[in-house]
Amino acid sequence: MKSTSDVVIIGGGCMGASTAYHLACLGIQNVVLLERETQLAVGSTGRNAGGVRHQFSTRQNIQLSMESIRLMQRFEDEVGYPMDFHQDGYLFLLSTPESVETFRNNITLQRSLGIEVDLVTPGEAVRLAPGLRVDGVIAASYCARDGIADPNGLTMGFARAAQAKGIQIERNTTVTGITVEKDRISGVTTDKGTISTPCVVNATGPHAARVAALAGVELPVTPLRRNIFIAQPPDEAVSGVNYPDNHIMVIDSATSFYFHREGPNILFGMGDPDETPGFDMTVRWDFLDSVVEVAMSRLPTLVEGKVSHAWAGLYAMSPDGNAIVGEVDSVAGFYLINGFSGHGFQQSPAVGRLLAAKIAGHETDIDLSPFALNRFGSGTNSPEANVV
């Protein structure tokens, strides 16, 4: 391992890998990425649902999606490695006049930025997602260019391309300390030795608050468990009749129940309002009954099928559902790319580029100030309404 480096990135998920790749593209190649696990992308990145959407409620989040989706579309050409990406659309089912009004306002903003998104009737929603039940649904918000992408392909693509440009990746290496001298970063300590550096990027997902504390920084990011289940449709069910024949993502906005095709199977999940912050990633099988109850009224085929496996992962929640990105005011050289609140995978291409530009001292073309840590307490935060 190097003993000095221009930048040390802590964490080998999609955020760390994207930042490494974009630093290398800017010519900053004396960089070390440290990952405590044997493999990259085994944290939240390897446990996510792969959803990618334009349908956010704030200008900056929509802009991040637009750029990220553009890069995912040409990932192999630009980054040099293949990545699965299916743009089969996202449907948000809306069951109250209030939610229709909120989504109508979001659509106005999304359309003003050039996104083709529409309110559709419940009947149209069923046509788009065969097998769907729409009892109580008033309307749905639909964007055909949203989709499902491959988190491992994206992360490994960025990581391999970064390595090819000279960036060093050290696995099985845990950061145990961050040294700050006169309010500036001066190095990191790991279980394999120390590295002198003026710049550290905290890309540790749900562990971000612990790692920030190593530099004496209080970071309001909390881990929150989410469960994902995979069901095999019953033998008699017909793709395109009883369940969708493409990868369309359907989200019931009233309950947060969602599903999409995963190969021949169906991936589904739902937020548990009673879940409390913590690092436990044991699957909550006792919660499956509550999910199935909602599934019965939305995709009955799912209930007749067999749940073959499940996993749990951690959202990294921030107080307003928006990411925390940029340099910490009180510690020069300490950069955050944290708190993505369940929508980080899809933002990682754009946010990694913007953070790399900041580190290189460039102006960014998307305003990152709404994501600054100092927005908390200053009253300037505008929460993201579409946290799933």
**Residue numbers of the site for ligand FAD (CB under 6 A)?**
10-16, 34-37, 42-45, 47-51, 174-175, 203-207, 211, 226, 228, 313-315, 340, 342-346
Tokens of 171: 């696995």
Which lies closer to ligand FAD via its Cβ, residue 90 or residue 142? 90
Report the side by side order of strands in the sheet with 193-196: 175-181, 184-190, 193-196
Task: State which H helix or E strand residue 265 sits in.
Answer: strand 265-269
Phi, psi of 148 (to 5 degrees): -125, 130
Question: CB of 312: closest distance to ligand FAD in angstroms?
Answer: 7
Question: CB of 278: closest distance to ligand FAD in angstroms?
Answer: 13
Per the listing, tokens 């845990």 go with: 174
Which lies closer to ligand FAD via its Cβ, residue 34 or residue 180? 34
Question: CB of 185: closest distance to ligand FAD in angstroms?
Answer: 15
Which lies closer to ligand FAD via its Cβ, residue 49 or residue 250? 49
Question: CB of 251: closest distance to ligand FAD in angstroms?
Answer: 10
Q: Are 195 and 8 in contact (CB under 8 A)?
A: yes
CA atoms within 13 A on the CB side of 45: 30
Question: CB of 379: closest distance to ligand FAD in angstroms?
Answer: 26
Which lies closer to ligand FAD via its Cβ, residue 49 or residue 93? 49
Question: If DSSP codes are grouped into helix, strand and coil, which group holds residue 293?
Answer: helix
**Strand 249-252 relative to strand 90-94: parallel, antiparallel, unpaired?**
parallel
Which lies closer to ligand FAD via its Cβ, residue 131 or residue 313? 313
Which lies closer to ligand FAD via its Cβ, residue 122 or residue 314? 314
Question: CB of 153: closest distance to ligand FAD in angstroms?
Answer: 13
Q: Are 47 and 152 in contact (CB under 8 A)?
A: no
CB under 8 Å to 147, separation ≥6 — which residues? Answer: 52, 53, 69, 85, 86, 87, 88, 89, 90, 247, 249
Question: CB of 235: closest distance to ligand FAD in angstroms?
Answer: 28
Q: Are 5 and 185 in contact (CB under 8 A)?
A: no
Which lies closer to ligand FAD via its Cβ, residue 89 or residue 206? 206
Which DSSP string do the residues of 195-250 spell out, in sequence order?
Answer: EE-S-EEE--GGGHHHHHHHTT-----EEEEEEEEEEEPPTT--BTTTB-SS--EE
Nearest one of 337, 341, 336 to 322, comparing CA atoms? 341
Question: CB of 282: closest distance to ligand FAD in angstroms?
Answer: 13
